Structure 1
Amino acid sequence: MKPLSLSEINLRDPFILTDERTGAYYLYGTDGATAWSGKPTGFDVYISRDLVSWEGPEPAFRPDEDFWSDRHYWAPEVHQWNGRCYMFASFKSEQQTRGTSILVSDSPVGPFIPLFGGKPVTPDGWECLDGTLHADDEGQPWMVFCREWVEVKDGEMYAVRLSPDLSRADGDPILLFKASDAPWAVAVGDNKDSYITDGPYMHRLPDGELVMLWSSAGEQGYTMGLARSSGGIEGPWTQDAQPVFAKDGGHGMLFRTFEGELCLTIHIPNANPQERPVIFKVKEEGSRLVIEGQAGQ
């Protein structure tokens, strides 16, 4: 099969795992063709050695017939934890609200098997999405996730402690902030009274400061900003006045190349089915993340 460039891959919410064991990069994301309608087949993975040429797609997750969700397979992230690969992904059905479930595999290419029978780790009855893994200063796992604006209007960001094996929530969710706290966020919806929270991703700056990339609507379309904690995961959190990326792209995450370079991947634009993964080089300048040129260009 002919290798693909990123411009040929229709994915939203890209996530790249750098695997030292295999010497390869693994790209996951929301399939653009079934992001909003149709029944997804599951999640795929693309594989690269240089971030330029990609092989695939390979099937990473295919649901059993009794899997609870039949639509909106969104934002898969794969994190390595205690020697295994854990996929955090959001799902929805006609009978059940959207939630983030956790799946596990011994390999970045899968097959990924749902933990806890596939039951979402997010609270029952809440409309939630975009769970991501965070390890606190004691090495204990947390999931950061969004409560959707379609339910609460002013989208909310939460953190919940996880059990050591990542199979379930261990405690009640803690509210970190609301979308309208960001000066750059603009209202959406029919009445222009709602604010979006999307795509959290946790990062430690060189000085140890804990920051969070997250996305919402901005003046120029889909936008990604930076929140900062003056403590640990529980905050308090403040919002940078200016976004990290403002030109109709977002849902980003950071990863390092095998050479140690820090990179950011987001999807651009936010319009379906035009969205494509894009990779930028990033520099940490003091307390700032500065986007430079595209990687591989």
Structure 2
Amino acid sequence: MTFSCNRNQSTGSQSDAPAAVASSQAVTYKNPVMPGDYADPSVVRVGNDYWATATSSEWAPLYPILHSKNLVDWETVGHVFPNKLPDWAEAHFWAPEITYDNGKYYIYYTAKKKGGNLCVGVASATKATGPYTDLGPLVCQEVGSIDGFPIRDEKGELYLIWKEDANSVGKPTPLWGQRMNEERTALTGEKFELFRNEKGTWEGGLVEGPALIKRNGYYYMFYAGDACCGRACTYGVGVARAKDLRGPWEKYAGNPIMKKNEAWTCPGHGTVVSDGKGRDYFLYHAYSANTTVYPGRQGLLDEITWGTDGWPKFQNSSPSLTAEAPHRTNAKDVVDVQDEFTGGNLAQTWQWFVAQPAPKYSVQPSQGGRLLLQASPEKVGSVLSKRTMEGDYTATTAINQKQLGTGVAAGLAAIGDPQNAIGISVQNGEISLWSVKENKETVHSKVAAPQGNLLQFKLTASKGDQLQFAWSANGTTWTPLNEGKPINGDFLPPWDRGVRVGLTAKGPAGAAAAYEWFRLVH
């Protein structure tokens, strides 16, 4: 199962694409191109292929690898760490940067060191889809090091640029540079500062997310400033340039070059990619102003234009709603998910908690399509989930009651993290509506489950946080479990993530729940 990202059309209608390139035959797309929680996206073009990755945070498997031929239609084709965490790291898997150099792909990523702070690590592979070999951490400063970005200088020497995470202790945030060996296993020489945030300006408490390119004798750095995440975010995009990597760096007087509009808020943290025809594009994230934090920070694409003054700009200085596509696209106006469990393997877009052991499951196509998910005694149980892509959605699943292990509660839930979820489940002949908030579990109502093999559950979300649950024995007649009164799920999304929806199995380890299918309609 893949999603089509997202919503393009051949049209002569008015758009906010630059007039110089708009035409009656233009193929256009609508943002987001990566609907759902794809924060801090990074992209590289190798030949005619585009490869991208994005933040995983506390959801495994770590760092999706996405492929596209046109920068608009994206498919998840693998992960950097599909089966286990890097040996040295334990949490906060942020801001991967994908690059290609001398026949190898490199992923520079941020993670929290076991018993320590945030570090920038790196993994390498000969193919974009892997397998990747982890090369370990490169830099781990006392207050944390994040957002690594590699670049070669005019002499061809390799450098790492990164942010010192000093805002975590209320201090300014320098962007540092340092030589890196060709093996990507160590930094060498002395580090040097490029620049830092200036209080009293739009940058606020920090600068981060550096992305560098070389153009017309200058190094240009696109960077993000101020608060990245959550309902109170204030992110924007700035640019600075220098003739020498070591500076002096000049910040553009017109910063920020991208800020919020009526549709998208808190844009930032992206990378620049060329289409091979002289056009540059910026792949970055932003929150939908309509659904705010609930689907998370979604992946957007916009063309960069270069002024006669040599500085880059974006149309209207804000995210586009509709724009001309870099290439002809194939995507449909759909972001729905349907998994019948008939393929033998789970789709690459299923996720589970980093903080818990990977759930044990099996897919049984010989049974007409069935997923067996082993239970866990944790508060929410074992979880297999999908990103939500809009604030309004309906998720449904069918549970095979005859295949339900003794003592297992099999369900469907909206999930923030292991301590926060709201769901419906069946256990020991009873259907329950439950919530877990700050690790405290509450059962809101219970009814007797109907007889029969299949029991269907439905979760309907409105505006991201108004949740209603229902059950059905036949998929036609639905019985609401919360009597038409939505449960408020505004507590679900963590500060840096969107809400997932998925399957839960709570109970004794080794017992299992059986699901016949899963559907998510936006």
Residue of structure 1 aligned with 2:259, choices 221, 246, 254: 246
Q: Distance in 2 between matches of 1:64 and 1:108?
A: 18
TM-score between the two structures when normalised by the length of structure 2: 0.50
Query: For 1:234, which of 226, 230, 246 is the aligned residue?
Result: 246
Distance in 1 separating the partners of 2:38 and 2:55: 5
Alignment of 1:122 onto 2:149: no
- Assess if the C-alpha contact under 8 Å between 2:37 and 2:295 holds in 1: yes
Q: Is the 8 A contact 2:269 2:284 kept in 1?
A: yes
- Does structure 1 retain, via aligned residues, the 8 Å contact 2:36–2:295? no
1:31-58: per-residue Cα shift (whole Å, max 9, x none)? 3xxx3xx453311111111222222252
Q: Match for 1:4: what amino acid?
A: S
CA distance in 2, matches of 1:74, 1:181: 25
1:88 matched to 2:108: yes
| Rounded Cα–Cα distance in structure 1 between residues aligned with 2:294 and 2:115 | 26
Q: Percent identity?
A: 20
Map Cα deviations across residues 262-283 of structure 1 (whole Å, 9 max, x no partner). Answer: 1111101284643111010111
Q: Which residue of 2 aligns with 1:15?
A: 42
Q: 1:67 to 1:233 in 2, by over 3 A?
A: same
CA distance in 2, matches of 1:64, 1:7: 25
- Structure 2 contact 35–299 (Cα < 8 Å) conserved: no
For 1:1-297, list aligned pairs within 5 A. 1-5=1-5, 6-20=33-47, 23-31=48-56, 35=57, 38=58, 40-62=60-82, 64=84, 67-93=87-113, 95-115=115-135, 118=136, 120-148=137-165, 149-151=167-169, 153-180=171-198, 183-186=201-204, 195-205=205-215, 207-217=216-226, 221-229=234-242, 231-241=243-253, 242-247=255-260, 248-269=266-287, 271=293, 273-286=295-308, 287-292=310-315, 294-296=323-325
Q: What code does the residue aligned with 2:236 have?
A: T
Aligned to 2:456: none
The amino acid across from 2:267 in the alignment is: G
Whole-angstrom CA distance in 2 between matches of 1:220 and 1:64: 32
Q: Distance in 1 between matches of 2:258 and 2:38?
A: 18
> Is 2:93–2:110's contact at 8 Å kept on the other side of the alignment?
yes
Give 1:25 deviation, angstroms: 1.1
Indicate the RMSD between aligned Cα atoms, in angstroms.
2.4
Say if 1:40 and 1:72, in contact at 8 Å, map to a contact too: no
Could you tell me whether the CA contact under 8 Å between 1:39 and 1:70 is conserved in 2?
no
Contact 2:77 2:129 in 1 (8 A): no
Name stretches of at least 5 consecutive residues in structure 2 with no aligned partner.
6-32, 261-265, 327-522
Paired with 1:93 and 1:272, the residues of 2 have a C-alpha distance of: 28
Write out per-residue CA displacement over residues 226-275 of structure 1, whole angstroms, 9 at most, x where no aligned residue. Answer: 1122x411111122232111221100211011433211111012846431
Q: Alpha-carbon deviation of 1:2?
A: 4.0
- Counterpart CA distance in 2 for 1:295 and 1:199 is 26
Distance (Å, rounded) in 2 between the aligned partners of 1:268 and 1:280: 12
Partner amino acid, structure 1, of 2:121:
S
Which of structures 1 and 2 has the bigger CA Rg? 2
- For residue 274 of structure 1, give the secondary structure of its aligned residue in structure 2: coil
Rounded Cα–Cα distance in structure 2 between residues aligned with 1:98 and 1:271: 24
